[in-house]
Homo-oligomer: A and B are copies of this chain.
């Protein structure tokens, strides 16, 4: 094949990771730059272009890249733009796809990070062979990628799949999106910390390892470690988190009737502490004819590779944009 590789780029709030990937999903070479370093978007693109070019040269891959696939927060598949991403320092609408295409002279396809993860999982991971599944990413926030009949659901505006912003508790916790009670205020890493602080406050007489940590320094990892050590409050936080997530996944199941949910991201590594209450609550809340039929699976992709692999899989679909 003339152009045997794709380039996958995963843009996160802190780091940008990129890799040269072949048709079998092998990451030939990869690298990373700091997303946060540049105040000006074009400076960031320039550094990314320089560093990626070095990687291409070092791996004899210049001229061999079929397409570039990018996963980025709030990225729009249709326009190739990043639109008001809360966790990036550049505000407003950023013409990511067009800028990269001009810079590299290679077709670019862009989507949000959770969609990229879903495409990666479908191409190389736990969702291989599935036509109907929902990817749930449990990180700082809660993201999702929805696949129906083998097609990624992009919606009328390219922004579908914001399941982290469906309402878990009406009138509940304030969310960064300016509304209240969103799923991600409960079932993200930050949601776990909020639950822990609430529970510590509400059960002031119950001893807990978490009381040794200043509240503004508490992380979901601390809650995990305490739960592992048998801390009652930390354990009840995971129980609570899993229960809410299970309730919501049951609602999502009524929506698109998927074959499986694939759980990905930091919190997914909590193991049975999260998965047990999650699965119990999911089964208890499903419509009767769906009970026992929908699987909840953990991602099969290494977290370090998943985003790059997912983005790269999109690179095979990239088409040159028509001049405006």
Residue ranges of A at the interface with B (Cβ–Cβ < 8 Å): 83-84, 130-132, 146, 148-149, 151, 153-163, 165-167, 169-170, 177-179, 247, 251-252, 254-259, 285, 287-290, 293-294
A146-B255, A148-B155, A247-B170 given; A285·B163 CB < 8 A:
no
- B165 near A258: Cβ-Cβ < 8 Å: no
Interface SS, A side: loop
A151-B149, A166-B254 given; A289·B178 CB < 8 A:
no
Q: Hey, which chain B residues are within 8 Å of A83, CB to CB?
A: 289
- A156 near B177: Cβ-Cβ < 8 Å: no
Q: Hey, which chain B residues are within 8 Å of A163, CB to CB?
A: 254-255
Tally of this chain's copies: 2
Contact of A156 among B162, B257, B289 (CB under 8 A): B257
CA distance A164 to B179 in the complex (A): 23
Q: Hey, which chain B residues are within 8 Å of A161, CB to CB?
A: 255-257
A156-B131, A157-B293, A255-B146 given; A288·B177 CB < 8 A:
yes
Contact of A146 among B130, B166, B256 (CB under 8 A): B256
* Listed A/B pairs (15) with beta-carbon separation below 8 Å: A83-B289, A84-B289, A131-B156, A132-B156, A148-B155, A151-B151, A155-B256, A155-B258, A157-B293, A159-B289, A162-B254, A165-B287, A167-B247, A177-B288, A178-B288
Q: Hey, which chain B residues are within 8 Å of A294, CB to CB?
A: 156
Residue on B nearest A284 in the bound complex, by CB:
B179
Interface centre among A155, A161, A252, A289 (most CB of B within 10 A): A155
CA distance A156 to B151 in the complex (A): 12
CB distance from A284 to the nearest CB of B (A): 9
CA distance A43 to B259 in the complex (A): 36
Residue on B nearest A84 in the bound complex, by CB:
B289
CB distance from A187 to the nearest CB of B (A): 15
Residue on B nearest A252 in the bound complex, by CB:
B255
Residue on B nearest A162 in the bound complex, by CB:
B254
Residue on B nearest A144 in the bound complex, by CB:
B255
CA distance A179 to B284 in the complex (A): 9
Q: Hey, which chain B residues are within 8 Å of A288, CB to CB?
A: 177-178
Q: Hey, which chain B residues are within 8 Å of A251, CB to CB?
A: 166-167
Q: Hey, which chain B residues are within 8 Å of A287, CB to CB?
A: 162, 165, 177, 179
CB distance from A219 to the nearest CB of B (A): 27
Q: Hey, which chain B residues are within 8 Å of A132, CB to CB?
A: 155-156, 160
Q: Hey, which chain B residues are within 8 Å of A169, CB to CB?
A: 170
CB distance from A180 to the nearest CB of B (A): 10
- B259 near A165: Cβ-Cβ < 8 Å: no
Q: Hey, which chain B residues are within 8 Å of A159, CB to CB?
A: 257, 289-290
5 pairs of A and B residues whose beta carbons are closest in the complex: A155-B257, A156-B259, A160-B257, A132-B156, A162-B254
CA distance A160 to B215 in the complex (A): 43
CB distance from A126 to the nearest CB of B (A): 15
Contact of A256 among B160, B177, B289, B293 (CB under 8 A): B160
